[in-house]
């Protein structure tokens, strides 16, 4: 049986016919919040990544943007909101409290994927 602590990170790959456009957008949105570009991917936190892949088998825009959502937790969602406004993101869901100390917001990337930011309870 595998060890209970065998998992060490999480990654998501965003496929696009124009991945450079996604790279530019995600870097502008996430690097000022603390993400860092390494090689060909954005590193989020200690052990999570967002990668980008050129694909010819995907549409120009996401047909069902809610099917896959990139979720990133932040310490200060209001500071993130100010930054997102400053770079002119398209809001799908404004910052709102969800109860239990959770605050959430959702923006659309250039091809229509959802990027969701969450701030958890202060005690978590």
**What is the domain-level CATH number for residue 95?**
3.10.180.10
Domain count for the chain, please give it.
1
Q: What would the two tokens of residue 87 be? A: 């770079």
User: What's the distance, CA 105 to chain centroid?
Assistant: 11
pLDDT (0 to 100) of residue 15: 93
User: For the range 24-28, what are the long-range contacts, defined as Cβ-Cβ under 8 Å and sequence gap of 24 or more?
Assistant: 25/109, 25/110, 26/50, 26/52, 26/109, 26/115, 28/87
Please check the confidence at residue 73 and state whether its pLDDT lies above 80: yes
Average pLDDT of the segment spanning 65-93: 95
* Sign, CA torsion 107/110/112/116: negative
Q: pLDDT tens digit string along 97-111? A: 999 999 999 999 999
Domain range for 92 is 10-119
Is the residue at 5 inside a domain?
A: no
Residue 3 lies in a domain: no
Q: For the whole model, what pTM was predicted?
A: 0.91
pLDDT at 92: 97
Residue 37 in domain: yes
Query: Does the residue 52 lie in any domain?
Result: yes
pLDDT of residue 123: 52
Tens-digit pLDDT profile for residues 35-67: 999 999 999 998 899 999 999 999 888 888 888
């Amino acid at each position: 049986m595998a060890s209970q602590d065998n998992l060490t990170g999480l990654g998501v790959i965003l496929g696009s016919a124009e991945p450079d456009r996604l790279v530019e957008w995600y870097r502008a949105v996430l690097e000022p919040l603390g993400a860092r570009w390494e090689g060909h991917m954005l590193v989020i936190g200690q052990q999570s990544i967002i990668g980008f892949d050129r694909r010819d088998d995907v549409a120009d825009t996401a047909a069902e943007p809610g099917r896959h959502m990139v979720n990133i937790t932040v310490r200060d969602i209001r500071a993130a909101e100010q930054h997102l406004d400053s770079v002119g993101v398209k809001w799908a869901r404004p910052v709102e409290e969800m109860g239990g100390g959770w605050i959430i917001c959702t923006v659309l990337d250039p091809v229509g994927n959802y990027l969701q930011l969450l701030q958890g309870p202060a005690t978590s």
